[in-house]
Amino acid sequence: MNKNEIEAIEVRLLLEAVYQRYGYDFRNYAPSTMRRRILKCMEDESLPTITALLDRVIRDPAVMNKLMMDFSITTSTMFRYPACFKIFREKIIPVLRTYPFLRIWLAGCGCGEEVLSMSILLREEGLYERSRIYVTDMNEAVLEKAKSGIFPVGKMRDYTLNYTESGGKSVFSDYYTAKYDHARFSPELMKNIVFAQHNLVTDGSFNEFHVIFCRNVMIYFNRELQNRVHVILYQSLIHLGILCLGEKENLHFTPHENDYTEVNDQKSLYRKTRL
Ligand SMILES: C[S@@+](CC[C@H](N)C(=O)[O-])C[C@H]1O[C@@H](n2cnc3c(N)ncnc32)[C@H](O)[C@@H]1O
């Protein structure tokens, strides 16, 4: 047995131990991503093997928290994939105007970039007051960051460009106050938001939504797990509800491939058309 095969066994044992000890189920995440993240954590902890990391993780919840942050991969930007937000404004918003009340679910929200993007967009379109945005993530620490509405001020330049490209109708800097090295977004943008811990691997549907964003979360899952999540998303959408996926994701080969119609050619926005 070569080194890689032994490492693969260690990865499986570590993920099984994490599941049994803490209840977080990463066993069906893409093996290559898990391996990279585990090796990074092993290095940070100055440990010689994955087995040594396993030993530490099951005994020390603080190391588990660290591993959890590594597994979360929270990379994001505000108005990420601006073309998608632009189409959302142009094609979806007019339909959403016809509902008296809107429930929107941002699943796997990251550290708040997507939340604020949605909140700003709904305000500018006059729909914020009739919306409730449910923001969920498996990681409590990530949710806490998202709630803070604080970002490094250095990121504002890129966020401003994305905002403009996405069809933003105002002056982006009006939404935050810059102080020292950080930018704090207006608490007004957090008014109609419910933050909750929800794990797409182990938890089920919890409401019916007009819109669900689940972007760049399933790219880390194997096919079986992606299919499970697609069933939850489908069950959680009203008829004619909108599903938004990441720019590298689509519905091909998923159990609900034929139950949606594409809203845009880039295959990131879908309307649920079959019950
Ligand atoms: C790359 S970020 C995506 C953030 C945002 N949706 C975007 O597209 O920019 C992935 C997020 O998914 C969350 N996540 C990963 N596995 C999850 C799971 N099983 N259930 C819920 N959230 C999960 C991570 O904690 C992280 O915040």
State yes or no: pLDDT of 266 exceeds 90: no
User: DSSP state, 111?
Assistant: T
Per-residue pLDDT tens digits for 50-64: 999 999 999 999 999
Global pTM reads: 0.96
Query: If you take atom 8 of ligand 1, which residue's CA is the nearest one?
Result: 215
pLDDT of residue 179: 95
Mean of the per-residue pLDDT values of the chain:
96
**Helix, strand or coil for residue 141?**
helix
As given in the structure block, the two tokens for residue 99 are 């509902």
Query: If you take atom 27 of ligand 1, which residue's CA is the nearest one?
Result: 110
Distance CA 23, CA 43 (A): 24
pLDDT of residue 125: 98
User: 1 falls in which pLDDT band (50, 70, 90)?
Assistant: confident
Share of the chain above pLDDT 70, in %: 100
pLDDT of residue 272: 97
Would you list the domain boundaries of the chain? 3-72, 82-148+188-272
Q: Which of 5, 10, 2 is nearest to 48 (CA)?
A: 10
Taking the alpha carbons of 90, 95, 99, 101 in that order, is the dihedral positive or negative? Answer: negative
pLDDT of residue 264: 84
Mutational test site, ligand 1, from 72, 113, 118, 166, max ligand atoms within 8 Å of CB: 72
pLDDT of residue 265: 78
| CATH fold group of domain 82-148+188-272 | Rossmann fold (3.40.50)
Query: If you take atom 24 of ligand 1, which residue's CA is the nearest one?
Result: 72
User: 89 falls in which pLDDT band (50, 70, 90)?
Assistant: very high
Distance CA 84, CA 250 (A): 13
Tokens 């585990």 label which residue? 38
User: 267 falls in which pLDDT band (50, 70, 90)?
Assistant: confident
pLDDT of residue 39: 96
User: 246 falls in which pLDDT band (50, 70, 90)?
Assistant: very high
Mutational test site, ligand 1, from 137, 147, 199, 214, max ligand atoms within 8 Å of CB: 137
pLDDT of residue 128: 98
Please state the φ and ψ torsions of residue 18, each to the nearest 5 degrees: -60, -40
pLDDT of residue 260: 97
The pairing of strands 269-272 and 260-262 is antiparallel
Mean pLDDT of 74-84: 96
Residues forming beta bridges with residue 177, ordered by sequence position: 184
- Reported as type and span, the H/E element at residue 102 is strand 102-107
CA 211 → CA 65, 66, 236, distances in Å? Answer: 31, 32, 9
State yes or no: pLDDT of 181 exceeds 80: yes
Query: If you take atom 2 of ligand 1, which residue's CA is the nearest one?
Result: 74
State yes or no: pLDDT of 16 exceeds 80: yes
Task: Give the ranges where 23-112 is alpha helix by DSSP (H).
Answer: 31-44, 50-59, 61-72, 82-87, 93-96
